[in-house]
Amino acid sequence: MNCSEKISVIIPVYNTEKYLEASLRSVMNQTYTNLEIICVNDGSTDSSLSILERLAAEDSRIRIINQENAGQGAARNAGLEVATSEWITFPDSDDLLVPDAYETVAKAFGQNPDLVHFSIKVVYEDGTPTRKQDHKYYTVTRDGLCKLDSKTIITADGSVSNKFFRRDIIEKYGIRFEKIRYEDFQFSKEYLLVSDNIFCISRPLYIYLRREGSTMAQTFLRTPYSIDHLRAFQAVSDFMGKHCSDEIRSKVEPILFIQSYNFAICYADDETLPHVIQLAEDMYARNDVLKRNVNCKILHGTLIFYISNLTRYLKLAMEFLFAIKYESYDYMPFKIVRLFGFTLMKKPAAW
């Protein structure tokens, strides 16, 4: 591989007329020019298609695919079917890239990595300061070629927009986006599970616009879509059953299950909550890896899953003496202040 090879840029587009031209121009104007830009219009009902057609007339590298609305994952799958490059990336149609993002990434190709991963800068459209958890979640803390291990698989963010994937690995394992929300988590985790190494770039090369109405903005509301966190985990679990050793499964699968369940119940609306709980119970009951490595019990009226180890018991002992933390009571979050086992404050927390 060399740093001059073509990159396939697959962009799903659905009703993003307000942001689309600036977003697409941030790809068109990259200092690295050897690109094929595949824009999949997923049944947009606004002027997104006319914007794409105008920009395609200006830049011959742009190819437009039109399809009936089928979701972001289906749009990305459609792009994969026609992509011709070895390296593939998936920016969104309302975000931006720094001008030399792809040039910076291409310098890593010579080291023959399975994956290239770079940091994201999160910007809120309404001017809200970036949350510390966003910064932490989307920051790559290392630079250079690294061996992939179970910790990296677990902790790597679930976005596909800040990663470059190799076509041969995607095709070898038949990795595609599922028809669910949070399909980017599913795709990226499956890919990580069958990769050997990763080239890390700590510099933020991608600017992620957090805006009202986007998939992730809706994620942090109480929503019926929250159950798809568990469905995404189930897809990853099925993939692990086919392609991963028992050792990797025992290290990765329990943590991903607990994370997905906690996220799903935290943001489920009242109507969806019982279905989230039932689905989690069913997954746990039929998954031997989970039953061997994860404990399950009711605490404060909330079904919880956890991994027992010495570190957890020491942490619980310290929290008995003193804690400022969030706990779930009947699936609702509360901020708790505790001193020597006595609860000093129990305050309802915002979702």
The candidate with the shortest Cα–Cα distance to 178, out of 230, 217, 133, 114, is: 230
- What would the pLDDT profile of 18-77 be if each residue is shown by its tens digit? 999 999 999 999 999 999 999 999 999 999 999 999 999 999 999 999 999 999 999 999
In this structure, is the dihedral angle defined by the CA atoms of residues 47, 53, 59 and 61, taken in order, positive or negative? positive
State how far the Cα of 4 lies from the Cα of 109, in Å rounded to an integer.
9
**Portions of the chain given CATH number 3.90.550.10:** 7-219
Angle of helix 72-82 versus helix 183-193 axis, rounded to 10: 50
- What's the number of CA atoms in the CB half-sphere (13 Å) around residue 341? 1
Task: Give pLDDT, residue 21.
Answer: 98
Task: Give pLDDT, residue 336.
Answer: 86
Enumerate residue ranges in the chain where pLDDT < 70. 1-3, 212-221, 310-313, 316, 320, 350-351
Task: Give pLDDT, residue 3.
Answer: 58
* Cβ neighbours of 249 (radius 10 Å): 22
State how far the Cα of 160 lies from the Cα of 67, in Å rounded to an integer.
21
Q: Can you name the residues that pair with 201 across neighbouring β-strands?
A: 118
Q: Give me the long-range contacts of 304-308 (CB less than 8 A, separation at least 24).
A: 304/328, 305/257, 305/258, 305/261, 305/280, 306/258, 307/254, 307/255, 307/258
Task: Give pLDDT, residue 1.
Answer: 46
Give the global pTM.
0.89
CA 24 to chain CA centroid, Å, is 21
In 3-state terms, the chain is what percent helix, strand and coil (to 5)?
Answer: 40, 25, 30
**What CATH number should be reported for the domain whose range is 7-219?**
3.90.550.10
Q: Can you name the residues that pair with 37 across neighbouring β-strands?
A: 9, 62
Task: Give pLDDT, residue 30.
Answer: 97
Cβ partners under 8 Å of residue 123, min gap 6: 130, 207, 208, 209, 210
Angle of helix 183-193 versus helix 246-266 axis, rounded to 10: 170
CA 285 to chain CA centroid, Å, is 26
Q: What are phi and psi of 67, to 5 degrees?
A: -145, 160
